[in-house]
Amino acid sequence: MLNLTLAQKILDNQDKIAAEAVNLIYENQKDLIKNYQDQQKNKSIRDTKYHLNYLAEAIEADSKSLFLDYIEWAAVIMENIGIDLENFIKNLLNTRDAIAEYSDEKELEILNDFFYAAVNNIRSNYKRPLSFLVRENSLYQTASSYLEFLLNSDRHSASKLILQSVEAGLPVKDIYQEVFQPVQREIGRLWQINKISVAQEHFCSAATQLVMSQLYPYIFSTRKNGKRFVAASVGNELHEIGLRMVADFFEMAGWDTYYFGANTPSESIIDTIKQINPDLIGLSTTITYNLKNLKELIKAIKAEKFNLKTKIIVGGYPFITSPDLWKKIGADGYAPDAENALKFANNSLH
Amino acid sequence: MKKNTTILCDEDFVIMEVLQDDYNLITQDLVTLTFLKIVDKSCLNSAFKFQQEVNRNNIAFNWELNLIFPDETGKSYLAGIKEDKKIFLIITRQIQDISQFIAGVQNLFSRQPIVASQSGKHKLLRKTTDKDENIYEEFTRINNNLVNLHRELSKKNVILEKQQKYLELINRILRHDLANHFTVIKSAVNLFNKSKNMDFLEEIKLHVNKGIMLIRNMKQLEAVFSAEPDLKPRNLLSTIKLVISNYQNIDFEIELQEIRILADEGLEIIIDNLIRNAVRHGKTEKIRISSEETDSTVIIKIADFGKGIPDEIKDKIFTESFKAGASGNTGLGLFIVDRMMQNYGGSVQVVDNQPQGAVFLLEFNKA
Contacts of B158 in chain A (CB under 8 A): 217, 220-221
The CATH homologous superfamily to which domain A222-348 belongs is Cobalamin-binding domain (3.40.50.280)
Predicted pLDDT at B344:
82
CA distance A290 to chain B (A): 16
Predicted pLDDT at B121:
34
Helix (H, G, I), strand (E, B) or coil at B211: helix
> Which residue from B147, B342, B365 is facing A209, i.e. has the nearest CB?
B147
Query: How do residues B235-270 score in pLDDT, each as one tens digit?
Result: 888 889 988 888 888 999 999 877 888 888 778 888
CATH fold, domain A140-217, is: 1.10.1240
A254 interface with B at CB cutoff 8 Å: yes
> Which residue from B128, B140, B228 is facing A205, i.e. has the nearest CB?
B140
pLDDT mean across residues, chain B: 82
Query: How do residues B79-101 score in pLDDT, each as one tens digit?
Result: 888 887 888 888 888 765 556 66
A307 interface with B at CB cutoff 8 Å: no
| Residue A309: closest C-alpha in chain B | B367
Query: How do residues A198-229 score in pLDDT, each as one tens digit?
Result: 888 999 999 999 999 999 989 988 877 778 99
Predicted pLDDT at B31:
67
Contacts of B363 in chain A (CB under 8 A): none
| Global pTM value | 0.66
Predicted pLDDT at B172:
77
Instruction: Please give the Cα distance from A57 to A66 (Å, whole number).
Output: 8
CA distance A125 to chain B (A): 31
Judged by CB atoms closer than 8 Å, whether chains meet at A216 and B150 is answered as: yes
Least confident of B7-21, B286-300, B328-342: B328-342
Pair B136, A202: CB distance under 8 Å: yes
Judged by CB atoms closer than 8 Å, whether chains meet at B262 and A350 is answered as: no
* Measured CA distances, B38 to A29, B69, B100 (Å): 39, 8, 20
Query: Chain B interface, mutation test: which of A180, A238, A248, A343, most B Cβ atoms within 10 Å?
Result: A238
Q: How would you list the strands of the sheet with B297-304, edge to edge?
A: B251-255, B286-293, B297-304, B358-365, B347-352
Indicate whether B10 pLDDT > 70: yes
Pair B212, B238: CB distance under 8 Å: no
Helix (H, G, I), strand (E, B) or coil at B293: strand
Indicate whether B118 pLDDT > 50: no
Instruction: Please give the Cα distance from A90 to A22 (Å, whole number).
Output: 11
Contacts of B262 in chain A (CB under 8 A): 226
State the 10-residue block means of pLDDT for chain A, 350 residues long. Answer: 83 88 78 56 83 88 87 88 86 90 89 92 88 91 95 92 94 94 93 86 92 92 83 86 93 92 88 90 87 89 81 91 88 92 86
Angle between helices A105-125 and A2-12 (to 10 degrees): 80
Pair A198, A190: CB distance under 8 Å: no
Name the pLDDT band for B122 (thresholds 50, 70, 90): very low
Instruction: Please give the Cα distance from B359 to B338 (Å, whole number).
Output: 15
Per the document, the length of chain A is 350
Which H/E stretch holds residue B209? helix B198-225
B342 interface with A at CB cutoff 8 Å: yes
Predicted pLDDT at A304:
82
> Which residue from B148, B157, B229 is facing A259, i.e. has the nearest CB?
B148
Indicate whether B148 pLDDT > 50: yes
Which H/E stretch holds residue A21? helix A14-28
Average pLDDT of the segment spanning B285-306: 90
Judged by CB atoms closer than 8 Å, whether chains meet at A216 and B154 is answered as: yes
Q: Quote the strand ranges of B256-340, DSSP E.
A: 260-263, 286-293, 297-304
Predicted pLDDT at B126:
44
Judged by CB atoms closer than 8 Å, whether chains meet at B345 and A206 is answered as: no
CA distance A81 to chain B (A): 13
Name the pLDDT band for B181 (thresholds 50, 70, 90): confident
B226 interface with A at CB cutoff 8 Å: no
B139 interface with A at CB cutoff 8 Å: yes
Predicted pLDDT at B82:
85
Residue ranges of domains in chain A: 2-125, 140-217, 222-348
Q: What architecture is domain A2-125?
A: Orthogonal Bundle (1.10)
Q: How many CB atoms lie within 10 A of CB A25?
A: 27
Quote the ipTM score. Answer: 0.81
> Which residue from B128, B157, B345 is facing A199, i.e. has the nearest CB?
B128
Judged by CB atoms closer than 8 Å, whether chains meet at B110 and A39 is answered as: yes
Contacts of A205 in chain B (CB under 8 A): 140
B156 interface with A at CB cutoff 8 Å: no
| C-alpha closest to that of B23 among B77, B88, B98 | B77
Predicted pLDDT at B105:
67
Cα end-to-end distance, chain B, whole Å:
74
Judged by CB atoms closer than 8 Å, whether chains meet at A244 and B296 is answered as: no
B84 interface with A at CB cutoff 8 Å: no
